[in-house]
Structure 1
Amino acid sequence: MTAPKRKSRANGEGTIYQRKDGRWEAAGYVLAADGTRKRVRVYGTTRREAADKLTEKIANSNRGLPVATADSTLGDYLTYWLNGVAVHRLRENTHVRYAACVRLHLMPGLGTKKVARLTAKDVRTFLDRLRATCQCCTQGLDAERKACCAVGECCQKQLSALTVTYVHSVLKSALEHAVREDELPRNVARNVRATAPRPRRFRPFTATEARQFLDAARADRLHALYALALRTGLRKGELLGLHWEDLDLSNGTASIRRSLQRTRTGGLTHLPTKTLASERRIALPTECIRSLKEHRQQQDKEREIAGSAWRDSGLVFTTPTGRPLDPANLTRRFRSFLDRAGLRRIRFHDLRHSTATLLLEQGVDLVVIKELLGHAHIGVTAGVYAHVRLRLQRDAIDALGHALGGQDDDLDDPPATAVVR
């Protein structure tokens, strides 16, 4: 009996065979992150799936794009991940922060480790060391001025728990991609418990301070922006990215579609909103509709005064010549405004916290606040304002205690069969 003819492989397809566990494995040679050619293995539930995965890697390699492998060092893999994967999925400013995190912390601490041999213990030891190490000493920050650590007087400038958690999250994201590409069986960084950072403390305006803020803002050129920030909780970038076409003042709504931010390569750039949930339509308070109409009249006058120097950007909030407002300049202007108004200094973002806090204190449902703020998940809203909810719970418990502790002989006890729903 003639043996069945084996299916021939296409040129460059590599080796494909079925494993004992039923999965299909494909292997071939690709350009590695260190410039050499290395053999990679990919897996699939079907022959086609394994072949497609390998074909994609070989195609990228033929285009000169290196493919990280499990026997690469973590430094090589992180370089590949940052420049070949994360750059296409992250906003530019986020990618810059990731790159700084890799360069300053992950490369020096774990860069020489082989990806396949990295263990949870390695990650935990690295994070513990990072938490206890003076960054001035590690990065030589005092070398130029010949002070502090450079002269043997360590300042013990250690990273905050929030920064250590951020470094951990970047490493987890990179290794998660290696798992998705079948380079690693599991993400060892996920098995390490990082110390939970203390939530960032903020002191939003009280109701009295908020009224004082709005009163003082009426005399400011950006009174409509300040009122919109406090009354709706819009982010700074969302406010600066608003176009007149986004506003429907007749029906009292605003469509939040984009954010204005300064990036390293593009300067002032319109970007998508922070998350998909941040792209939303909100109702405008009556006071904001009035102030926005006044602001449009003011902008028309500024256009006439500027003449040929006016640059029509279509933005709601601009410089006196129509150009976009720089977020950093708005921050400085906001601080000066608070000083002139005699109000305590808060961050501009704390206006957003003030909105949510004041709404919670007025008994507004958490779901409504989540939709207004554009949070992706209600857990974010609940987590950020947990301290407010706890205080409201305390007030409710105290009110109940006062009611139960009072004496009222005119009230009868409810019947034993009553059902409380």
Structure 2
Amino acid sequence: MELELPHWKDVPVTLGSDGLYHAKVTVGRKPNGDLDRRHRSGKSEAVVRRKIRELLRKVTAGQKPRVGRVPTVEQWFRIWLTDIAPYGARPLARRSLDDYWSRCHNWIFPHLGGLLIDALEAEDLDRLYKAMFSKKPKPCSEGHVLKTHAVIRRGLEIALRRERVTRNVAKLMDPPGAPRVARESLSADESRAVLEVASRRRNGARWYVGLAIGPRQGETLGLRWSDLDLDNEIVTIQWQLQRLGWRHGCDDPSACGARPRAKNRNGLHRFEPCPKDCKRHKGTRGCPPPCKRDCEEHASTCPKKQDGGLVLTRPKGWRRRPHPRVVALPPGVARLLREHKETQKAEMREVGTYWHANDYVFCHRDGRPMDPRVDWADWKDLLREAGVPDARVHVMRHSTATALLELGVDLSIVQEVLGHSDLRTTRGYQDVGVELTRRAAAAMETRMAAPSQRPAERLQMASVTDLVTERLRRRSS
């Protein structure tokens, strides 16, 4: 049975022994069935009645305030990343979650953590981004700042949906940093040069697969022979190989990091910053920040470490796909994979009992999975030998999209080949190269030249008419 809300003028206001005016009003029931009574106080009766009127207005509008204090930015983001983001219909992937925590610890908590989440202003975010762009000795990249802004925007959006805030200030301001940067892709000649060098190398088929169907690096390294149907020349992409950070498996992570080591009797925690003339961390990303007193880092040295290393995980958008992603292979690439399989069998016989039976298509000579860092180094060496300018491994994905577009493949098919959940993402991966613009120029030339052809056609038609008229005149005479 629903309770009828009283009128704000009918709520009794009393003067307390503390010199303040107090009032209590029933605004409904709690989840356990008890009455939900709210307390308001102030220096005058008018102040208390104004608070009661505002409370009843929100309750009537379906915006009943939550009980308890408003959380700070740090408190809310910890709740979000611990209890909300890893679960639900669209949980964050492990690596994305680690990246979110890293940005929170390094930037969001130190600069915004103490502010109440409902008191956050756009100017507070501006000061954070200014600090990131002014970092010494090396400023943060524009992409890094933009991704930090995206984390803040997402966290505040969840707070808005949970009615912790009434607005998302990150959405009310322009994103920091530069606009979108055009994605690069290899030309047809550069791709052929890369494949020419790859054909002479071990695991050369890996680069043919990368340029033919454009899988992500982890998806290529996570391919297993059970995912390939070489008779029908198709591949099912349902796993990716990623290196994940380790987590503590002990009961007290802080004490684990503080235990003495062979080379460091004081443990791994750092509570003092490096001196200005530090030479130990010279040439690296910079001196690491001091640890907190309850630091839970250094999990890679934990004797019971878990959930880290090279792990097979599901690829992006796996939960939102109705079926696994199945892609057809070009016949030439399928033939190379058959040859690669025979080569791998020979390596297996050579290694013998030392072979790691992981069923990976692309692996080390003993069957161990290929580390993404090793794969990255192989790609860089491949580009140098082929005489192609330096590029990321991900450039093969963009090159596939561009090549398919130049071949006239429909955009929705390109989306399925690349495994994008949104067609707009596929559009962003495609680079409209000079060949497509040359086709557009030829089509425009035909269109522009058409009117100039019409006078000649009329002249030709007029000549035929005059000839017919002349012949008729002759016959009549």
TM-score under structure 1 length normalisation: 0.74
Whole-angstrom distance in 1 between the partners of 2:108 and 2:401: 36
- Which segments of 5 or more consecutive residues in structure 2 lack a partner in the other structure? 5-25, 39-54, 247-307, 460-477
Other-structure match for 1:396: 440
User: What SS does structure 1 have at the residue aligned with 2:310?
Assistant: strand
Q: How many residues align?
A: 349
Q: CA deviation at 1:79?
A: 2.1
TM (norm. structure 2) is: 0.66
The residue aligned with 1:349 is 394
CA positional deviation for 1:388: 1.0
CA–CA distance in 2 between the matches of 1:16 and 1:391?
72
Q: Specify the structure having the higher radius of gyration (Cα).
A: 2
The answer (yes or no) to whether the contact 1:16–1:24 under 8 Å persists in 2 is no
Q: CA deviation at 1:272?
A: 0.7
Tell me which of 206, 209, 232 is aligned to 1:228.
209
Partner SS, residue 318 of structure 1: coil
Report the residue type matching 1:354 in the other structure. S
Which of 71, 90, 93 is equivalent to 1:91?
93
After superposition, the Cα gap between the structure-2 partners of 1:111 and 1:9, relative to the gap in structure 1 and judged at 3 Å, is closer
By how many angstroms is 1:380 displaced?
0.9
Instruction: Between 201-210 and 251-260, report the one with greater CA deviation.
Output: 201-210
Give the corresponding residue for 2:311: 269
Is the aligned partner of 1:162 residue 2:153?
Answer: no
- Whether the aligned pair in 2 keeps the contact of 1:230 and 1:351 (CA below 8 Å) is yes
**Once structures 1 and 2 are overlaid, which stretch shifts more, 163-172 or 339-348?**
339-348
- Structure 1 residues 98, 14: closer, same or farther in 2, change over 3 A? farther
Alignment correspondent of 1:36: none
> CA–CA distance in 2 between the matches of 1:377 and 1:8?
44
Letter in 1 for 2:410: D
Cα deviation for residue 197 of structure 1 reads: 2.9
Residues 127 and 366 of structure 1, relative CA distance in 2, 3 Å threshold: farther
* Contact 1:70–1:183 (CA under 8 A) maintained in structure 2: no
Give the gaps of 5 or more residues in structure 1.
28-39, 42-68, 137-154, 414-421
Asked if the contact 2:401/2:429 (under 8 Å) is kept, the reply is no
Q: CA deviation at 1:161?
A: 2.7
Task: Check conservation: 1:127, 1:168, Cα contact below 8 A.
Answer: no
Q: 1:122 to 1:282 in 2, by over 3 A?
A: same
- Report the AA paired with residue 93 of structure 2: R
> Aligned partners of 1:255 and 1:343: how far apart in 2?
31
Q: How does 1:362-377 map to 2 (within 5 A)?
A: 362-377=407-422
The structure whose RCO (Cα within 8 Å, separation 6+) is larger is 2
The alignment-based identity, stated in percent, is 30
User: 1:132-170, CA deviations, whole angstroms, 9 ceiling, x for partnerless residues?
Assistant: 42x12xxxxxxxxxxxxxxxxxx5x33333222211110
- Code of the aligned partner of 2:245: R
For 2:219, the aligned partner's letter is E
For 1:211-250, list aligned pairs within 5 A: 211-250=192-231
Q: Is 1:380 aligned with 2:380? A: no
Partner of 2:348: 303
Letter of the structure 1 residue corresponding to residue 79 of structure 2: Y
Q: Distance in 2 between matches of 1:118 and 1:78?
A: 13
Q: 1:239/1:132 Cα in 2 relative to 1: closer, same or farther (>3 Å)?
A: closer
* Greater Cα shift, 327-336 or 182-191: 182-191
Change (3 A) 1:367 1:25: closer
